[in-house]
Amino acid sequence: MPPYSPAIVDYDSAPLLSLGVSGMLAAACFGALAVLGVVSAARSPRRDVAVAAIGFLLFHTAFHLVWGEIVLLYVAHAVPSLAAIVAFALAGPWRRAATALALAFVLVGGPHNIARFREAADLATLIARINRVGAEP
């Protein structure tokens, strides 16, 4: 019998409310950081960097809408641009608010991410056990 091979696991269809309170708070903090970053970037003398980062994210969104059914495959490509936009927020005129949002993002998002990591580790352990035994659960 061939090893058990589950379908790709992703969170594309997870509704926002399924994130729980900490996940929704973390998403709201990051969203606010992104908005502050875009506004700060528009006022920055380094608009060339801002245009490149924002343009890349817009292209990335269009690319995903056309070819990407699984968000996770493309998320890592966007991280440097997201980091640049958040950096504009942290260096902009609202740096205190951005710093507070970034700290809140880490504090409320950390427990949420740890829980998701544990779920993924449990799934990997289950798949390894199934492949060792050679039977489905």
What tens digit of pLDDT does each residue of 19-56 get?
788 888 988 999 999 999 999 998 888 888 888 988 98
Q: Would you give per-residue pLDDT tens digits along the chain (137 residues)?
A: 445 455 555 555 566 677 788 888 988 999 999 999 999 998 888 888 888 988 988 888 887 777 766 655 556 777 888 889 999 999 989 999 999 999 999 999 888 888 888 988 888 888 888 877 655 55
DSSP string, 43-79: HSS-HHHHHHHHHHHHHHHHHHHHH-S-THHHHHHHH
CA 47 to chain centre: 24
Q: Is the dihedral of CA 113, 32, 53, 89 positive or negative?
A: negative
Residue 58 has a CB neighbour count (10 Å cut-off) of: 11
